[in-house]
Amino acid sequence: MSVADYTTQKRVQIGGLAVVALIVLGALLTVWFDVALDRLFTGGYVNRSLQMATPIALAAVGGLYAEKSGVFNIGLEGFMIFGAFTSAATMYLLGGTSPSQGHIWLAIVVAVIVTMLFAALFAVLLIRYKADQIVAGLAVWFIGLGFAPFLAAILWGSRSSPGLASINYLAVPNLEEIPWFGSALFTQSPLVLLTVLIVLVSWVLLYRTRYGYWIQAAGENPEALDTAGIDVNRVRYAAVIFSGAMAGLGGAVLLAHAGNFVGTGETMVDGRGWIGIVAYLFGNYNPIGAAAAALLFGGLDMLNYQLQMVGIEVSARLVNLFPYIAVIVVLTAWGKTRVPSSVGEPYESEE
């Protein structure tokens, strides 16, 4: 299988270890709390994990395109905040507190367009004006953290929006009743399916098309690409704008699932953009690997709800820390990802 071509041996080992660890953890839970595993890992859990994973996976796919092309977009978190806010605001302006499904889809489109514009501006600062990529990326986060709650306060008089509406699930009658995977596959948010599609298309685009090779060359060997007559910076602009659009879409998807905007604390995005960066590092810059890593984080995120369902009393605040701890463990166990060699360096053509 061609995915395996891009998956190194060691990563498989670590992935295997993670699965073993999860099984051992599950077994311990069964013994300590007398909880049957099949009650913990239900079809509904898979379903919710997929939903939690989608925003992370989208941000990750975007981020890996930017980094493959030689630009480290550390502003994913900020773009997600813009995406979530813009879609909430659009939804509210179109349909008040009871927007229709059509309004939700329109809001998602608007959010993607708006974040694309922001990302284009960001790309100009990074590529044309050679801004420090780390500092500018942090700035995007801070701007999101500040302006999204500010605009929310102007629009709704509070940092969070009132309840708006969340997206309807697609359900295939009869098939959804298949045990285990039936509900995950056949009663699912259309946005999860869209994400799966985007991940697969990104994989094909990156590894199977000429444009994908240009993106990879822009990060690995910009001189060669330049010599071949391709404008390196143009490829990078496209990749950075795409990464902003994907992060914005991720934020909009997060909102469409949650149904209202939360601008308190670190906002409803709550680190998912940063987790997205780790997801693509863990996935070795491969869209499919990144999506799988996002699913791992999404699953950890939903564990809280799952433990409550089976009656294990653990503080929600503590269980909510699992994804962040997992990020640290993953980064440490697999910190030395092979970064494209020209990441972070502005490229100047020798014309």
Instruction: Kindly list the residues in this chain that would bind another protein in the complex (CB under 8 A).
Output: 74, 125, 129-132, 134-136, 138-147, 149-150, 153-154, 159, 263-266, 270-271, 274, 277-278, 281, 315, 317-318, 320-321, 324-325, 327-328, 331-333, 335-336
Smallest distance from the beta carbon of 159 to another protein, in angstroms?
7
Contact 61, 69 (CB under 8 A): no
**39 or 128: whose CB is closer to another protein?**
128
- Which is closer to another protein, CB of 186 or CB of 324? 324
Closest approach of another protein to the CB of residue 17, in Å: 15
Least gap, CB of 229 to another protein (angstroms): 27
Least CB distance from residue 196 to another protein, whole Å? 26
Question: Using H for helix, E for strand and C for coil, what is the string for 42-96?
Answer: CHHHHHHHHHHHHHHHHHHHHHHHHHHCCCCCCCHHHHHHHHHHHHHHHHHHHHC
3-state secondary structure of 13: helix
| Residue whose token pair is 């071949």 | 228
Q: For the CB of residue 171, give the shortest distance to another protein in the complex, in Å.
A: 35
The Cα 105–Cα 259 span in angstroms is 13
Nearer Cβ to another protein (85/214): 85
DSSP 8-state assignment for residue 41: S
Distance in angstroms (rounded) separating the CA atoms of residues 41 and 58: 24
Nearest to another protein of 144, 219 (CB atom):
144
The distance of closest approach from Cβ of residue 137 to another protein in the complex, given in angstroms and rounded to an integer, is: 9
Which regions of the chain does DSSP assign to beta strands (E)?
170-171, 187-188
CB of 64 to another protein, least distance (A): 14
Minimum CB distance to another protein smaller for 42 or for 161: 161
What minimum distance in Å lies between the beta carbon of 347 and another protein?
A: 15
For another protein, the closer of residues 3 and 333 by Cβ is: 333
Spatial neighbors of 218 by CB under 8 A, at least 6 apart, are 68, 69, 70, 225, 232, 235, 236, 239, 342, 347
188, β-bridge pairs: 170
Distance CA 337, CA 350 (A): 30
Residue with tokens 């914005």: 248
> Which one, 102 or 335, has the nearer CB to another protein?
335
Looking at the Cβ atoms of 62 and 99, the one nearer to another protein is 62
DSSP letters spanning 148-172: HHHHHHHHHSSSSPPP---PPPEE-
